Amino acid sequence: MKRRLCWLIWHCLASGTALAGERHALLVGVGELPALPRAAWLAGPVNDVAAMRAALRQQGFAERHIASLADGGEADAAPTRAAILARLAQLEKTLGKDDVLLLYWSGHSVLAPAYPGAVAQNQRTRLLTRDSRPGPSRRLDGGIGSAELGRAIDALSARQVQVVAVFDTCHAAAGTRSDNGLTWRGLSAGEIGWRQAASKEAGTEPARARPRFVGFFAAEAQQRTPEARGVAVPGQAAGLFTRAVIAGLQAQPATYAAWAGNASAQYRTALQSYQLPRSAWPSPVYAGLLDASLWHAGEAAGTAALWPVQRDAQGWKLPHGLLDGVRSGDVFEAGGARWRAGEVGWNSSRLLSDSPQTLPDMNWARRTPAHTPQGRIAALLALPPSQGAPLLDARIELTLPGQAPRQLPFADGDLGTLPAGTRIRISVENRSPASVDLGLAHLPLHGAATAIYPALAGDSNRMPPAIGNGISVFERSFAVSGPAYGVEWLALVAAPAANGAPPRRFAILEALPPSTRGGAIPAPADTPEQAQLARVSWKSVP
């Protein structure tokens, strides 16, 4: 038996197949762009890669499992398109179930030009590589498109690898240089002569679910993220988000949600030090199974959520409220201390505590929901109607068999009796310059709920704003069908995505699988107490 076990281990190593549960990292840093003007180069990525490598070694990553593709002689290879794609292909072959891959990228990205009426949410971006260059007919040669990178992550996810993506890049439609020590990452398409065709990218495959995916992104699609000199070492350039992520990791967080919360706090502190207006702050976006324990992909599915209990000038608060499933009377516990939810708003709650012990200003707590006889649908219907101007333009197109389509607002109401074959088309548009966090779900009276937005496990529920001429649109159609018929609902919940705030949990839709919800992450104190809520019902019949 011992001889056979040794043979199996030797065979795995000889064939290049990773043993289950290993931690691997691919670090990409692209600062030098020989085919572009020197003004477009970045000084920080090479330092970011070195700092991230050191941080991962402290987290138990073996040196032989950390590959770096960056400028300079310390890297394994130059960060060209071919080298990056080849390393991803190799990892796809060698990594397996329960392995973890941290995919890190520091450098420029470019947002494809928008056309009038374009859907900004599906707009393509391109990460620049060392060999990126303007080609003939204003084509961008080199670089790696978002769709290509997405297919690589999908392939790894299909092998049950947990991919943790950390991107200190931006998807800016314009780039500038500032006088306050900051260099903004991101180039406009015009600066490098990129002119993308308006047609759909050839060869694009449907996106797949990523049940173990975790994503940390430095900025939303319309924003830029900066690097600066002297962040960690005097005179040395570094990405502000990268250093915030590393500082958040050094605090030894138990979950990805805690790591993201630490990183956000560090990021805000760094941005404040440069006295930038809040409108210029990039807003990091976090996606995926954030409630999972760090580096333990196999344990992700059963991990309970932790909630951030915070102290402010008025006492204790929770940056989550009615839309997140919090109710008055909920109990939160951490380290022997207890808090009880009192006043609960749309997006935040005040907490009461009678604990005599001295507590830190930030505590990650487990929640015990208050007992209530209501079911999930009754609890959703019991919420008061939202007031004020809607955050999103939401509509329903209803087409009964043999009838012409009818356009209806997606608002509280009842559609009546709908026979089998009726088609329901949902359209949600964000025409504003601000991002909105959105949750859509189908909730039958009997049976499992289904997430509509985000459509796939591992996706963020943040809906980007209109970018340039592009309009941010989400659409989904489905038909009323059996075998189960009866009362059904569509539910829409939305909240402002304040600059610096994470995507919302929207755990009011508690019947959805945990992987479709974001983790509980601290939000800044100025998150608006605003919401949009719509509950539409009907009775389906054969």
Segment 396-442, tens digit of pLDDT: 999 999 999 999 999 999 999 999 999 999 999 998 888 888 989 89
Give the highest mean pLDDT range of 91-105, 121-135, 194-208.
91-105
Span 229-247, mean pLDDT? 87
The answer, yes or no, to whether the previous bond of 454 is cis (omega within 30 of 0) is yes
pTM of the full structure: 0.77
* Whether pLDDT at 198 is above 80: no
Span 487-512, mean pLDDT? 73
* Whether pLDDT at 15 is above 90: no
Classify 225 as helix, strand or coil: strand
Span 440-449, mean pLDDT? 84
Q: Is 335 left (phi over 0), alpha (psi -120 to 50) or beta?
A: left
Burial 303-321 (b: 16+ CB within 10 A, else e): bebbbbbbeeeeebbbbbb
Do strands 486-496 and 436-444 pair parallel, antiparallel, or not at all (unpaired)? antiparallel
Look at 164-173, 216-225, 316-325, 409-418 and tell me which has the smallest mean pLDDT: 164-173
- Three-state SS letters, 491-534: EEEEEECCCCCCCCCCCCCCCCCHHHCCCCCCCCCCCCCCCEEE
* Whether pLDDT at 197 is above 60: no
pLDDT of residue 180: 43
For 56-109, what is each residue's pLDDT tens digit?
999 999 999 999 999 987 789 999 999 999 999 999 999 998 899 999 999 988
The Cα–Cα gap between 288 and 461 comes to 10
Query: What is the overall mean pLDDT for the chain?
Result: 79
The Cα–Cα gap between 405 and 86 comes to 49
* Other C-beta atoms lying within 10 Å of the C-beta of residue 66: 21
The Cα–Cα gap between 169 and 28 comes to 11
pLDDT of residue 172: 31
The Cα–Cα gap between 357 and 336 comes to 9
* Whether pLDDT at 511 is above 50: no
pLDDT band at 125 (very low <50, low <70, confident <90, very high): confident
The Cα–Cα gap between 510 and 325 comes to 7
Are the beta carbons of 126 and 110 closer than 8 angstroms?
yes
pLDDT of residue 110: 81
* Whether pLDDT at 458 is above 90: no
> With pLDDT > 90 as the criterion, what percentage of the chain qualifies?
33
**Environment class of 220 (CB within 10 Å of its CB; exposed 0-12, middle 13-18, buried 19+):** buried
Give the highest mean pLDDT range of 1-5, 51-55, 377-381.
51-55
- Of 296, 291, 270, 290, residue with least CA distance to 281: 270
